[in-house]
Amino acid sequence: MSDLVDLLLEGLPPQAVATDPDVTAAYRQDMAGFCASGVPAVVVHPTTVEQVQHVMRTATRLRVPVVPQGARTGLSGAANAVDGCIVLSLTRMDRILDLDPVNRTATVEPGVVNAALSRAAGEYGLSYPPDPSSWETCTIGGNIGTGSGGLCCVKYGVTAEYVLGLEVVLADGRLLHTGRRTAKGVAGYDLTRLFVGAEGTLGVVVRAVLALRPAPAPQLALAAEFPSAGAACDAVCAVMASGHTPSLMELMDRTTVRAVNAMARMGLPETTEALLLVAFDTPDPAADLAAVAELCRTAGATEVVPAEDAAESELLLQARRLALPALERLGTNMIDDVAVPRSQLAALLDGVAAIAERQGLTIGVCAHAGDGNSHPVVVFDAADPAAAARARESFDAIMALGLELGGTITGEHGVGLLKKEWLARELGPVGVELQRGIRSVFDPLGILNPGKVV
Amino acid sequence: MSDLVDLLLEGLPPQAVATDPDVTAAYRQDMAGFCASGVPAVVVHPTTVEQVQHVMRTATRLRVPVVPQGARTGLSGAANAVDGCIVLSLTRMDRILDLDPVNRTATVEPGVVNAALSRAAGEYGLSYPPDPSSWETCTIGGNIGTGSGGLCCVKYGVTAEYVLGLEVVLADGRLLHTGRRTAKGVAGYDLTRLFVGAEGTLGVVVRAVLALRPAPAPQLALAAEFPSAGAACDAVCAVMASGHTPSLMELMDRTTVRAVNAMARMGLPETTEALLLVAFDTPDPAADLAAVAELCRTAGATEVVPAEDAAESELLLQARRLALPALERLGTNMIDDVAVPRSQLAALLDGVAAIAERQGLTIGVCAHAGDGNSHPVVVFDAADPAAAARARESFDAIMALGLELGGTITGEHGVGLLKKEWLARELGPVGVELQRGIRSVFDPLGILNPGKVV
């Protein structure tokens, strides 16, 4: 270990290398529960591409595993340390290098915080749409590594759709340029996209060219109450089938609504089985909302309440953003992330309710309903081993149901450690073999974030 | 060769196997000039996934190269046969298997013609945006293989952005499922995207799940005349910097305008140096066009003519669609496809004019200006070897300039044979090595479309 630190210090300043166990312990894990984490040998905080290259060359030379980390807000254990590893924290590489309104691009280092980029883009009348719940703290590098989504995806898509080009330090320390700065390009295989969602297993992203969009108009939202999750999902399908594209379409079940009220006294309607929030940032959002209100009533909504203005709309969105923190206050959480074709969302939610009943557990559901992406949150008492076992069973049963309904085990949180066994079920043996083959091309020694993804 | 045919006939009906040299000769090449093509041993026309698997298993067993083909409308030689190969034509797998307005997806076989899908989607109030010039004849499989674009990309993006999931027959005949039917998904490395633009070198796409969008409103267009290409590009930058998103923004230079008039008597203004077409499909296109007209005048437009209605707008678009056929009538063509950051488009076009002058050649330019993607068309007399050599030099000089300006050698036509040497210059040695490594994972024997891409 002393060899390792000595070699690292040949290319890193002392303040970039931490070995104090009290310090390094803080870098053991991300925000996923139920995932193993090891004890890092050392945590490094490079500030330049060259320093990252030095770290990877050293790791290759000594065959030491490297776990890249952003803000550790991930929910799949992808950033968890393994014993004896170098934790490679990218948070100090946090410069926005370029913002270009003509080409609508931003060039950033990986440690830039999502919200910092959004705000900087806003000063040019632009926006960076991907908005995971952790957007005030999570980093662009982490967003790329996990392929994160957010509330905006139903209209604006996910992180992958905004990554044009990358600079990546490979396992052996060489620098790879992928992609482009242009609006289009088909020169060779799309390596850029391969790194998005790869959770740091193929290389370390040290620079990204991102696409920006013109800043949208403020959203106007409505809240609709439904007597069942199925009825709310019918409304979602009707809205999408009729050609509308909301900027947000979110569902919260009764458990989630009550939890949010308990946490923040939002005054949400507690008797409803499912609350649907729909917003538009179109030129005439009131007209679009009126059409959606009608579709909601036809689908069985008992109450439809349009927000008066953008401020009231923002309050509704705020309620939705509180869903996960609010559910966390009910007990220990396992947050699932199953996406199904949106026409199957009702079947998924009915199935989740049946699982909760069978297991005698609370499962609160919030969903990016417009994407068919739901986050069933299994709530349980971690001090009770039987309850914990039932929670894990429920969590797995939800993924099995998602696959059965033509969906995926992860819409936006990633695989990491949490869903690694399930990935093989989704991909099948041919897919797994090819994914392993690709990983070997990039990291023949297997030192990059070992044990994650495939 | 008789062995090969006998084995193929074990899993294919006789009418799906052609060996008559007069027939197979028609399958030697796509629409790219200046690319070598070999003589196929046999052309097969499977109609089922199982038949494609049989073809690939046979090819693997006998180590025979396979060249997958769609409608052969490609412009890079990617579909050109090699001596002794199996040409695997997918045009008879042309079923639209599913159109789903709730999930906004289409599931198709690779031989479906682009326009057929567009029309079928239209019946559900949906659209499939990618619209390459050859859309009336080119196939979805070919579009995926080449990663094709079109006129719509400035607002709606390229083929890659519409491919959600694939079924692919691998080199050894195994079937791979990639991606998803859901709006989101981050389960493992993005193999789907790897196949887009891979020109059939990684596997044979036999089924695709595509994203659809609500059908847009009819476009309203304007035409603006500029005294120089640079002034037109200034207008393009001003439009994009001011937050507008046109549904189309195309540029034609004087050579192109004259060629179109000569072919179709369109009455386009022949004295202008650059004609810019801009269209919107927004709720109030007239207002957006008025704002753009003002920006054009500020950038130096001498004349701005808005179309009266959708029909007149369609005529303007029709003129643009005739650009390449019209230039073809002037002589033999080499069509380039360089994309640069849109702020560099003026520099690219100035450079192209300088190259034309230096080489004493006509180079007509049409460009997807909003994407920074230009198609300089080098026109020359193929009977004159010196002119042909100068044409090739010009073609290469344009790519070199594109790279110098931070661009790519191909925005939407692909690499194929035509730009293979240039790909290495764009990717660099590290990129090439990794791309080759990925290819070996999918096709260790090197039987899939050998000699193309990397």
Residues B8 and B101 in one domain: no
Query: CA-nearest residue of chain A to B411?
Result: A185
Residues A361 and A298 in one domain: no
Asked if A313 and A236 sit in the same domain, the reply is yes
Contact residues on chain A for B435, CB-CB shorter than 8 A: 188-189, 191
Residue B82 lies in a domain: yes
What are the beta bridge partners of residue B276? B224, B251
Angstrom distance (rounded) from CA B363 to CA B375: 10
**Span A90-114, pLDDT tens digits:** 999 999 999 999 999 999 999 999 9
- Neighboring chain B residues of A414 at a CB cutoff of 8 Å: 186
Q: Is A125 found in the same domain as A196?
A: yes
Q: Which of A193, A410, A419 sits opposite B193 (nearest CB)?
A: A193
> Cα dihedral sign for B70, B71, B75, B80?
positive
Question: DSSP state, A423?
Answer: H
pLDDT at residue number A115: 97
Helix axes A49-62, A2-9, angle to 10 degrees: 150
What's the mean pLDDT in B56-70?
Answer: 98
Question: How far B198 CA sits from the closest chain A CA (Å)?
Answer: 6
The residue among A227, A249, A219, A225 whose CA lies nearest residue A237 is A249
Residue B434 lies in a domain: no
For residue B73, the enclosing domain spans 2-89
Query: Residues A315, A221: one domain?
Result: yes
Q: Quick one: what percent of chain A has pLDDT higher than 70? A: 100
Q: What is the pLDDT of residues B333-358, one digit of tens each?
A: 999 999 999 999 999 999 999 999 99
Q: Which of B93, B39, B31, B34 is nearest to B67 (CA)?
A: B39
Nearest neighbour of A125 by CB, restricted to B181, B243, B343: B243
Contact between chains at B427 and A188 (C-beta distance less than 8 A): yes
Q: Which of A50, A68, A89 finishes a domain? A: A89
* pLDDT at B171 exceeding the cut of 80: yes
Residues B290 and B308 in one domain: yes
Residue A89 CB-half CA count within 13 A: 22
How far apart CA B36 and CA B165 sit, in angstroms, is 33
Looking at residue B180, its pLDDT comes to 93
What is the predicted pLDDT for the residue at A33?
Answer: 84
Structure tokens at A194: 């391969």
Q: Could you say which of B188, B214, B240 is where a domain stops?
A: B214
A339·B180 Cβ contact <8 A = yes
Nearest to A184 among B189, B202, B371 (CB): B371
Does residue A438 sit within a domain? no
Token pair belonging to B424: 């290495």
pLDDT in tens, A129-178: 999 999 999 999 999 999 999 899 999 999 999 999 999 999 999 999 99
**Hey, are the CB atoms on B181 and A406 less than 8 Å from each other?**
yes
* B132 vs B33: which has the higher pLDDT: B132
3-state secondary structure of B173: coil
Look at residue B2 in the predicted model and tell me its pLDDT. 73
pLDDT tens-place string over residues B275-333: 999 999 999 999 999 999 999 999 999 999 999 999 999 999 999 999 999 999 999 99
Same domain for A254 and A282: yes
What number is the average pLDDT over the span B138-162? 96
Residue A305 forms part of a structural domain:
yes
How many contacts, defined by CB atoms under 8 Å, are there between A and B?
A: 265
Q: What percent of chain B has pLDDT over 90?
A: 97
Tell the residue number behind the tokens 């009770």, with chain if given.
A384
The reply to whether A210 and A221 lie within a common domain is no
Nearest-Cα distance to chain A for B190, in Å, is 5
Q: Which of B350, B366, B343, B334 is nearest to B401 (CA)?
A: B350
- Across the interface, of A283, A371, A441, the residue whose CB is closest to B183 is A371
- Which residues, in sequence order, are CB contacts of A161 under 8 Å at separation 6+? A211, B161
Contact B426 A190 (CB under 8 A): no
Strand order in the sheet with A17-18: A17-18, A42-44, A86-89, A66-69
| Nearest of A74, A141, A284, A119 to residue A212 by alpha carbon | A119
Distance CA B43, CA B21 (A): 10
CA nearest neighbour of A370 among A238, A187, A226, A262 = A238
Contact A182 B373 (CB under 8 A): yes
Average model confidence (pLDDT) across chain A: 96
pLDDT of the residue at B344? 97
B187 vs A415: CB contact, 8 Å cut-off? yes
In chain B, the residue whose alpha carbon lies closest to the alpha carbon of A195 is: B189
Instruction: Summarize the confidence of residues B75-89 as an average pLDDT.
Output: 97
Domain membership of residue A120 (yes or no) is yes
Q: Do B182 and A343 touch (CB under 8 A)?
A: no
- The answer to whether B401 touches B352, Cβ cutoff 8 Å, is yes
Identify all chain A residues contacting B152, using CB atoms and an 8 Å cutoff.
none
Q: Are the C-beta atoms of A96 and A120 separated by less than 8 Å? A: yes
Torsion angle of the four alpha carbons A414, A418, A421, A422, in this order, in degrees rounded to the nearest 10: -50
Q: Residues B210, B221: one domain?
A: no
- B33 to each of A302, B74, B419, how far by Cα in Å? 65, 10, 12
Q: Across the interface, do A406 and B182 touch by the CB < 8 Å criterion? A: yes
- 3-state helix, strand and coil shares in percent for chain A, rounded to the nearest 5: 40, 20, 40
CB–CB of A237/A292 below 8 Å? Answer: no
Domain presence at residue B275:
yes
pLDDT at B454: 87
Number of other CB atoms surrounding residue A25 within 10 Å: 14
Shortest Cα–Cα distance, B1 to chain A (Å):
31
Helix or strand or coil: residue B212? coil
**B132 shares its domain with B156:** yes
Say if residue B362's pLDDT is above 60: yes
Q: Evaluate whether residue A450 is within a structural domain.
A: no
- Helices A229-241 and A345-359: crossing angle in degrees, nearest 10, is 160
- Quote the CA–CA distance of A251 and A273 in Å, as a whole number: 10
CB contact (8 A) between residue A341 and residue B103: yes
What is the rounded average pLDDT of the residues B168-194?
Answer: 96
- CA of B386 vs chain A CAs: smallest distance (Å): 29
Whether residues B18 and B81 fall in one domain: yes
* CA–CA distance, A417 with A410 (Å, rounded to integer): 12
Using an 8 Å CB-CB cutoff, list chain A residues near B123.
Answer: none
At which of B322, B350, B379 does a domain end?
A: B322
Q: What is the CATH number of the domain that holds B242?
A: 3.30.70.2190
* B187/A442 CB distance under 8 A: no
Q: Which of A158, A175, A454 sits opposite B188 (nearest CB)?
A: A454
Q: What is the DSSP string of B130-147?
A: ---TTTTT-BHHHHHHHT
Q: Do B182 and A371 touch (CB under 8 A)?
A: yes
Distance CA A361, CA A353 (A): 10
Name which of B186, B399, B435 to mutate to probe chain A: the one with the most chain A Cβ atoms within 10 A of its Cβ: B186
What are the Cα distances from residue B155, in Å, to A74, A211, B247?
32, 13, 5
B150 CB-near residues (< 8 Å, 6+ apart): B129, B130, B131, B132, B133, B135, B158, B412
Provide CB contacts within 8 A for A400, sequence distance 6+.
Answer: none
Residue A1 has pLDDT above 60, yes or no: no
Which amino acid would we find at residue B265?
R
**A34 falls in which pLDDT band (50, 70, 90)?**
confident
Question: According to the model, what pLDDT value does residue A299 have?
Answer: 98
Q: CA-to-CA distance for A72 and B33, rounded, in angstroms?
A: 52
Domain CATH code at residue A407? 3.30.70.2740
Number of structural domains found in chain A: 4
Instruction: Report pLDDT for A259.
Output: 96
A271-280: pLDDT as tens digits: 999 999 999 9
**Strand, helix or coil for residue A90:** coil
* pLDDT at position A229 over 80: yes
Segment B365-389 mean pLDDT: 96
Rounded to a whole number, what is the distance in Å from the CA of A195 to chain B's nearest CA?
A: 8
Cα distances from B358 to residues B352, B354, B380, B395, in angstroms, run 10, 6, 14, 13
Mean pLDDT of B392-401: 96
Q: Residue B254 belongs to what H/E stretch? A: helix B254-264
Residue B37, domain CATH = 3.30.43.10
Using CA atoms, how far apart are residues B396 and A182, in angstroms rounded to an integer?
19
CATH number at residue B162: 3.30.465.10
- What is the per-residue pLDDT across A288-344, written as a single tens digit (0 to 9) for each? 999 999 999 999 999 999 999 999 999 999 999 999 999 999 999 999 999 999 999
Q: Which residues in chain A touch residue B241, judged by CB atoms under 8 angstroms apart?
A: 101-102
Asked if A105's CB is within 8 angstroms of B423's CB, the reply is no
Question: Are A134 and A225 members of one domain?
Answer: no
- Indicate whether B227 belongs to any domain: yes
Q: What is the mean pLDDT of chain B?
A: 96
Q: Which residue of A has its CA nearest to B127?
A: A243
pLDDT at B1 over 70: no
Contacts of B437 in chain A (CB under 8 A): 441-442
The average pLDDT across B177-202 equals 96
Q: Which amino acid does the sequence have at A143?
A: N
Residue range B30-58, pLDDT digits in tens: 999 889 999 999 999 999 999 999 999 99
